[in-house]
Homo-oligomer: A and B are copies of this chain.
């Protein structure tokens, strides 16, 4: 009854006499009473906690994750929720572990860049609302948030072409990854629109990391010795772009005077390296994911169906920085 009064203070002010309320408050104060969130959660079926599932491995922090996560916790805090992180070694573990996460301690789950089969339905817990950011496939029952990567890549490539760049080397992301495909598609579409066709060997694919970018570019340069140096490297991620820049500098080439470099994502890496890039609204994506998730949770609480869209696309934007300049007039050859 103490708890009832203390709490109802906010809800039913008429229910308790002032005298009783004062007595309860005094007692609570004296006992340093703290309501227990677990018990309350049990009774209430609501923990005011959102889960975030992501793969988070390796030594170097994944900036993509960290930026989205930053957006998530800021918005969650603003909505009176807290966020708890579940790490997956690999998305193959998802079928086994995700149902365990949805065990009453979270009200909803955000999947960060999940690599899941479209038929994940059998094991996806149906009692917990789920949203995903940059899912690789549409998943039944999961609302997805993404950014318009193809248009971003398209606009960037078009801009490069308009500046006079012609030999545009695309150091792309992993084959099969939806985002990587979309970026490559934008790159190709911009060429097609300009009536151009980039040589097939100007489109590489590999992991999204600094090392992958470094190695991919280096081996490509070695294979193309004596041929003309590309005008610009269009990396499919900022990390790749950084790796490429590193190799170019190591070869004594100047960025952007000899060759430009542009990235993708606009993580802190690009901002720090003053690298031109395609901005994905990472923090907004995280914040919006929280909004949608809360809407779904509310709908469930009120036993309504969630009526919002199943897929939400946020715009991307070309960001010009110091690593992008007009192409060199005198063409260089690869040493």
Contact = CB atoms under 8 A, between A and B. Distances in A.
B37 A268 contact: no
Given A49-B105, A268-B63, A42 B34 contact: no
9 contacts: A35-B103, A37-B104, A38-B47, A59-B283, A61-B66, A66-B70, A74-B87, A268-B268, A268-B269
A36 B104 contact: yes
A38 to B, nearest CB: 4
Given A60-B268, A66-B61, A82 B73 contact: no
Q: Quick one: which of A41, A63, A273 has the most chain B CB within 10 A?
A: A41
Interface string A250-281: 00000000000000000011011100000000
B74 A56 contact: yes
Interface string A207-225: 0000000000000000000
A67 interface: yes
A34 B73 contact: no
Given A49-B105, A60-B271, 13 more contacts: A38-B47, A49-B84, A56-B74, A59-B283, A60-B268, A61-B67, A66-B70, A74-B87, A77-B87, A82-B85, A82-B86, A83-B85, A85-B85
A102 interface: yes
A184 interface: no
Nearest to A44: B38
B42 A103 contact: no
Interface residues of A, number: 41
Interface in A129-181: none
How many copies of the chain does the oligomer comprise?
2
Contacts of A35: 103
A41 B86 CA distance: 18
A118 interface: no
A125 interface: yes
A150 B60 CA distance: 26
A305 interface: no
A315 interface: no
Contacts of A100: 34
A233 interface: no
Nearest to A282: B61
A226 interface: no
Contacts of A83: 84-85
Interface in A38-77: 38-39, 41-42, 47, 49, 56, 59-61, 63, 66-67, 70, 73-74, 77
A292 interface: no
